[in-house]
Amino acid sequence: MRRSVPILLLAFAVLSPSPAAAKPKHCFSAPEISAEREVRHGIYLREASQRCDGQYLKGSNAIWQKFEAANGTKFKSAVDRRKKAWSREFPDDWQYKINHADGRLVTYARNLPRTQGFCANIDDLLKEVDKRGYGGFSAQAKLLQNEVIDDYKVCQ
């Protein structure tokens, strides 16, 4: 009898109707904007640290990977908040749109000229986030990924 309870609960969960999807608000909340900025900045720093590693910066990719691993739960939270906002605002094709937005950012980051000056700037950004942690990273994201508020209306 005890074995049937988990199976019954599982069957109920599968057969019960899913909650109605949230209606689009036609804007992103302040925490959703922050999450969008953080995800974009993470993508940018990941790409830039990989590109600069070796010739211009020794170990830049390792610094980024260490930071990313240390802050995995915070990144996951930002990614989850971002997905929830995108799926609410673009219910029919949010995965396509989010992939397009991320691809646009990766393409941009990979096509910036890799110069000593570019990599010196990335080095400064990586040193700051390594020193200041996720709070420093989030502050950087607010400044460097500020166009997010041009892309998405902020809820009032």
Tens of pLDDT, residues 113-128:
899 999 999 999 999 9
Task: Count structural domains, the chain.
Answer: 1
Local structure of 152: helix, strand or coil:
coil
Q: Model pTM?
A: 0.81
> Does residue 1 belong to any structural domain of this protein?
no
Could you list the residue range(s) of the whole structural domain that residue 63 is in? 27-151
> Does residue 108 belong to any structural domain of this protein?
yes
> Does residue 116 belong to any structural domain of this protein?
yes
Tens of pLDDT, residues 83-121:
999 999 999 999 998 988 888 888 888 888 899 999 999
> Does residue 18 belong to any structural domain of this protein?
no
| Residue-by-residue DSSP string for 27-47 | SB-HHHHHHHHHHHHHHHHHH
> Does residue 120 belong to any structural domain of this protein?
yes
> Does residue 9 belong to any structural domain of this protein?
no
> Does residue 124 belong to any structural domain of this protein?
yes
CA–CA dist 154, 156 (Å, integer): 6
